[in-house]
């Protein structure tokens, strides 16, 4: 099935009565993908995100970073064409966020996913994005930057900061 969209939010939005594995398998259940193959894919994704051994843990038994890993895994399980990430790493400590950004980027690229990532962090946008759209208020496009060449990050950071200051 084509045209699937996966979503990762700032809060993990996990169902507290379900285990990590059951939370990951939820989209597949909704889409009628109840099979041993689907379960195996969920287990493999949980392992890719460093959650082996925590498959049967409930959200209350997981750290914030682990819960966010489950949420990302849940967004990926249905093999979406598009991933929407709304401040997906914003509430995590920097070390955890950096690891998750790295893992997320590798998996998204490997799966040829289109990712629309909303963030307030210029550094996060620079590390994750090929194209950045800087928005002002109310949702006005201030500028668009091509980051696919990964030009000097400091120069881009200064340009984006100047754009945002001009809108303040």
Q: Which helix (H) or strand (E) holds 83?
A: strand 82-86
Considering the segment(s) 5-118 as one domain, its CATH architecture is 3-Layer(aba) Sandwich (3.40)
Give CATH 3.40.50.300 domain extents, the chain: 5-118
- Digit-by-digit pLDDT tens for the chain (168 residues) are 466 899 999 889 999 999 999 999 998 888 887 778 889 999 999 998 889 999 999 999 999 989 999 999 999 998 899 999 999 888 788 888 888 888 888 888 888 888 999 998 888 888 888 899 999 888 889 999 988 876 678 888 899 999 988 876
Q: What's the predicted TM-score (pTM) here?
A: 0.85
CA dihedral over 95, 71, 103, 105, signed as positive or negative: negative
């Amino acid at each position: 099935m084509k045209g699937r969209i996966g979503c990762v939010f700032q809060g993990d939005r996990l169902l507290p009565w379900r285990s990590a594995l059951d939370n990951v398998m939820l989209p597949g259940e909704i889409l009628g993908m109840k099979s041993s193959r689907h379960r195996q894919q969920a287990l493999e994704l949980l392992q890719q995100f460093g959650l082996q051994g925590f498959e049967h843990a409930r959200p209350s038994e997981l750290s914030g970073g682990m819960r966010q890993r489950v949420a990302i895994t849940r967004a990926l399980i249905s093999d979406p064409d598009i991933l929407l990430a709304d401040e997906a790493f914003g509430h995590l400590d920097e070390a955890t966020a950096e690891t998750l950004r790295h893992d997320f980027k590798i998996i998204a690229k490997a799966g040829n996913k289109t990712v629309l990532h909303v963030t307030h962090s210029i550094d996060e946008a620079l590390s994750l994005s090929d194209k950045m759209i800087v928005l002002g208020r109310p949702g006005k496009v201030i500028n668009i930057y091509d980051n696919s060449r990964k030009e000097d990050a400091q120069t881009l950071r200064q340009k984006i900061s100047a754009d945002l200051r001009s809108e303040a």
